[in-house]
Amino acid sequence: MIDRIEPNIGIDPTAEPAPAPSPAPKPPTMATPSPNSRGALDQLARIEDKMARMEEKFARTEALVARAQDGLDRAATRVEGAARSVDAAELATEVTQLRAEVAKVPRIGGLVITGLVTSLATAILFVLLLKFMPGLLQ
Interval 38-87: pLDDT, tens: 888 888 999 999 999 999 999 999 999 999 898 888 988 888 888 777 77
CA–CA dist 121, 113 (Å, integer): 12
Tell me what pLDDT residue 87 has: 78
pTM of the complete model: 0.38
Split into its structural domains, the chain has a count of 1
Q: Within a domain: residue 42?
A: yes
Helices (H), 35-105: 35-104
Q: Does residue 110 lie in a domain region?
A: no
Average pLDDT for 15-41:
68
Asked if residue 75 is part of any domain, the answer here is yes
Contacts of 106 (CB under 8 A, 6+ apart): 114
Residue 59 lies in a domain: yes
Structural domain boundaries, residue 46:
36-105
If pLDDT is split at 50, 70 and 90, which confidence band does 133 have?
A: confident
Q: Give the highest mean pLDDT range of 8-12, 30-34, 127-131.
A: 127-131
For the segment 79-125, what is each residue's pLDDT rounded down to a tens digit? 888 877 777 788 888 889 999 988 888 888 888 999 999 999 999 99
Helix (H, G, I), strand (E, B) or coil at 38: helix
Report whether 41 contacts 33 (CB < 8 A).
yes
In a domain? residue 121: no
Assess if residue 90 is contained within a domain.
yes
